[in-house]
Chain A
Amino acid sequence: MAGPVSPQTCKKKLYTISWERTLYNPFVRKLVNESCGAFTSLQIKAGTDGQISSSELIKSSHQYRCIMNACIEDLNQAADLANSVESNQALQEMSEIFYKAELVWNLCEILYLENPLGILPHLLEWIRIHFPNAVEETGTVLASPNPGLHESYWKALYGLVFQLRLESATKLLRIHPDFQSEAFQSAYELLKKMPVFSANSTVSAPEFTFRWNHWKEECESRTQAGDFFESKDLELLLEILCGKEEAFEKVGDHFETWYQRMITQLTFTQPTIGTLSLGDEAEQFFASLIGLDDLTSLDATLLAVLRRDTRKVIGEMQGVLDNSWFTAHLADLLYHAGALQSFEDINSLQLRETLLRDYSICLFSHQSLWSVGVLYLDHCPNVGSATLEHLLTRLPCQSEMKATKIISLAERRKLTSVVTSVCRVMGRRALANRRLGAAVAWAVKAQDAPLATYAADAVLKSYLQDSDFTSTDLLDSLGAGLLASDRLAFLGKYREFHRLYNSNDFHSAAGLLISLISSRIAPKYFWTVLLMDALPLLETNPPVFTSEQTYELMQSLQELTSSFQDDAEINPHPNCQLNSDKTMLITLALSRNLAKCFVQQTVCD
């Protein structure tokens, strides 16, 4: 439906749009959590100076790949158990994406982290891992009643040779019914004799090349001599061994992918090829086999990896994946390996940081994965702290538990503004929900004086209402926190007055009451309450208030009666209203107490 939206729909509907991400899938959670563990342990190993051996890096890389493989397995299992076609399809698609990601990661590991000499054996290993079908095929052939005559016999044999599984290949050759023939014996011998280049062999590259050329000449001369004339299949095998282009044309459909075929062909033509020429070789190969017009993003990524064009690799993977899990972890690994190049416009540190931050932000959008995101920001030296500060305050803290978690994370990272902000918000919410004790506690933690004052006022008002304090435990445990605001300090002292009074310590209670009034710490609206609280103390005999203290009380009563109208609240609580009855009652009690004081003084004198 194109064109502008009609005004009709504008009135009625809102659309909320959110990103859908693979990472939020419950089956991928393990990947998120475990890769975070691998990531942090890598950072610890690298330490502050960033020095880390390549074998440690390869170990980390293996770890990441294991995590990916486990995730692929989980997804496949889930797909099998899925109860609808759609969810099965979705899970399978996801699994396929991770399969491709692992494929690319493995190739990166080889090209960036392994010894760049002898690269081909590693690449061949990569093919062996990802394309086990030759071995599977051999299995089926061997399991059949007459393996030597099985229709897939030769396909299986070629498959083994393609991956240089020479031992299995020779075994398979032995079970052929014609094995005793001269042709088979000759081929068998050549296979056995084939020199194999490996990265950790003691043979130097030139020496290997010499042996290999010698062996190849022998293969060719035997073919020329007509050794294999009787068997077309053996002839083809020998052509393959000699790396003949035509031979690979013939068996082209044995390869599932271009890179499989390329690596096999290189194994039989340039076994000692170096990393530097690999990129051009791959591009030419791809262009002639498939054509650059049919480049899929996986092909483009693999070609970029073979060319060691890191920027292109990252760009391609970002385009393919809906999250930056892959790019963030890979970039970090390459950064530690010193393989993340700086470009004219961005240095390697910035690039790594940008990608880690992107991944972290993506985690923060999820209601529970955010705490994993925090750990990644810890390793972004330039933008991490500011980003974390911003994102942490944005987390909705629906529960006290979540608020406490955010606060402790922020405290550990010295993000005081986050702590204050979260406490304030929690305090406000507690206040709105009439949880006054909690409101006071949060306000104290936030060191927010206006909020603390407001909350303390609310507690006092609720005391007037119910003649009882709610959540006293919280108030009494605040201690020095009461100093957050004067009103709160008053509230604390007033509680103390009640305690003293209840424990019959009337002298201390009276002293405290006087100090509350005379220091003006008590809010004026509460004075009447304080004076009424003084009443029973005034009636005691012998008196607990001294004459000076009684004068103090008289003065405050005076002040109250003369000024009460000025800043009167609109609707004061009846207990706060000083009516004529109360005034009379207090005046009477005060004068009687004064009289008692005089009598006592006279007696003492």
Chain B
Amino acid sequence: MFQARTINAEHKDLIHDVAYDFYGRRLATCSSDQSVKVFDLDENDEWRLTADWKTHAGSVWKVNWAHPEFGQILATCSFDRTAAIWEEIVGESGNSAQSKNQSHWVKRTSLVDSRTNVTDIKFAPKHMGLLLAMCSADGGVRIYEAPDIMNLSQWSLQQEITLKMPVSCLSWNPSFSRLHPPMLAVGSDDTNVASGGKVFLFEYSESSHRWSKAETINTIVDPVHDIAFAPNLGRSYHILGIASKDVRIVILKPPQKDAYAAACPTSQLEILQAAQFDDHHSTVWRISWNITGTILASSGDDGCLRMWKANYLQNWKCIAVLKGDGSGVSPEDGTDRDKAVSAATARYFKLGAISNPNQVPWH
């Protein structure tokens, strides 16, 4: 059912993040060895290392691709308290020692406003412009914008939000519709269960041009390690995947836009828990959606990658389990699959083995 292919990344230390580009034909990895590597699919559909460079003076936690409409751009964030924007330059190598397959990445800017470890960085959905959000261990969430999309060396700090607990991850809501205000979800890995909900939702107000907290998901009090909105293909509600001590899937229903609701714009999101899975029997570190938002992949300390799919009723089920080395394990429940349609979509998934940050000193 699955085909597994191996890429020798050969980082000198733990790999923390793997990011596919928009089309799934490029891969970027980042590691505690302070470097980023880029792999490209060549004409024969083989992965080839095309760039490898030192990016930061500390562990690089996350790497993220901008939409190709803005060019070939990567954002990285690091333990060295900075984030950086990189742009690929084609055909300017000139160095004959370099193979012609190599590409060259230039640092366009360093974002140095954080005074602590920068834990996550993500480009906003392209309809919002060239925007990015980063978060740091001191609870800071910063949103930057490049006012001139052709000039990547200028980024202005649009807004700075400070939360009372460390922030570990963030996700932009990809929905683009007049019915949904832009939304940003932020997760905290604060280990103090008593400090309350660990997932916060921010909404952007067009009138005030400000982001403000719309909701806290109080049902999740355990540390959150990863968070991801599902791509939205015409749904009226949002789906949020959360990696905590288990896998959670939460549905966010915007208030009905009727005449009454229009009169009171502060009406609240309805938050429903669609699924909660403790199949990993351990901490869940990373989650990732396929491009149609129909399958969620999660990886945990059990060394397994698990994939989840829902039927039209939002009835979620495990459809596949894979070991860290890519070999398959059949789902425990193979007989009753009439609801979890196993027709999957995206071609690639992040894998368990690549995201095992538990051996890494986070604090």
Contacts and interface: CB of A to CB of B under 8 A. Distances in A.
B150 interface: yes
Nearest to B322: A17
B4 interface: yes
B12 interface: yes
Contact of B354 (A14, A314, A319, A425): A14
Contact of A383 (B14, B31, B89, B234): B234
Nearest to B311: A354
B68 A425 contact: yes
B166 interface: no
A298 to B, nearest CB: 14
Interface string A1-14: 11111010111111
Interface stretch (A129-137, A212-220, A390-398): A390-398
Given A14-B9, A16-B5, A451-B150, A318 B341 contact: yes
B1 A19 contact: yes
Nearest to B73: A428
Interface residues on A, range: 35 or more
Contact of A365 (B12, B322, B347): B347
Given A5-B303, A315-B338, A434-B91, A396 B313 contact: no
Contact of A12 (B8, B22, B72, B148): B8
Nearest to A390: B233
B7 interface: yes
B70 interface: yes
B241 to A, nearest CB: 18
A15 B5 contact: yes
A434 B339 CA distance: 51
Interface residues of B, number: 75
A518 interface: no
Nearest to B346: A365
Interface in A1-41: 1-5, 7, 9-20
B303 A14 contact: no
Given A383-B234, A387-B233, A432-B72, A365 B345 contact: yes
Given A5-B303, A383-B233, A14 B351 contact: yes
B253 interface: no
Contacts, number: 187
Contacts of B305: 17
B71 interface: yes
Interface string B310-346: 0011000000001111110000001101110111111
Contacts of B223: none
A7 B4 contact: no
A207 interface: no
A458 to B, nearest CB: 10
A7 B291 CA distance: 29
Contacts of A396: 23-25
B2 A18 contact: yes
A362 B3 CA distance: 16
A11 B14 contact: yes
Judged by DSSP, the binding face of B is loop
A428 B70 contact: yes
Interface in A365-390: 365, 382-383, 385-387, 390
B112 interface: no
Most chain B CB inside 10 Å of its own CB: which residue of A2, A15, A431, A450 = A15
Judged by DSSP, the binding face of A is helix
A346 interface: yes
A322 B88 CA distance: 39
Contacts of B341: 318, 324, 354, 358
A350 interface: yes
A328 B6 CA distance: 34
Most chain A CB inside 10 Å of its own CB: which residue of B12, B292, B322, B327 = B292
Contacts of B4: 15-17
A362 B341 CA distance: 12
Contact of A450 (B6, B12, B150, B325): B150
B29 A14 contact: yes
A26 to B, nearest CB: 15
Contact of B324 (A4, A319, A324): A4
Interface in A305-327: 311-312, 314-316, 318-319, 322-324
A429 B91 CA distance: 12
Interface string B346-359: 11110111101001
B313 to A, nearest CB: 5
Contacts of A12: 8-11
Given A318-B341, A424-B69, A433-B91, 20 more contacts: A9-B325, A10-B14, A11-B12, A11-B15, A12-B8, A13-B6, A14-B6, A14-B351, A15-B351, A17-B2, A17-B3, A319-B342, A345-B312, A361-B294, A382-B234, A383-B233, A385-B234, A390-B291, A396-B24, A450-B149
Interface of A: 1-5, 7, 9-20, 311-312, 314-316, 318-319, 322-324, 345-346, 350-351, 354, 358-359, 361-362, 364-365, 382-383, 385-387, 390-391, 394-396, 421, 424-425, 428-429, 431-434, 450-451, 453-454
16 contacts: A2-B303, A3-B303, A5-B356, A10-B354, A14-B27, A15-B5, A16-B47, A18-B347, A19-B347, A322-B1, A362-B344, A383-B233, A386-B234, A421-B126, A433-B91, A434-B91
The 5 tightest CB contacts between A and B, nearest first, are: A315-B338, A386-B234, A5-B324, A396-B23, A15-B326
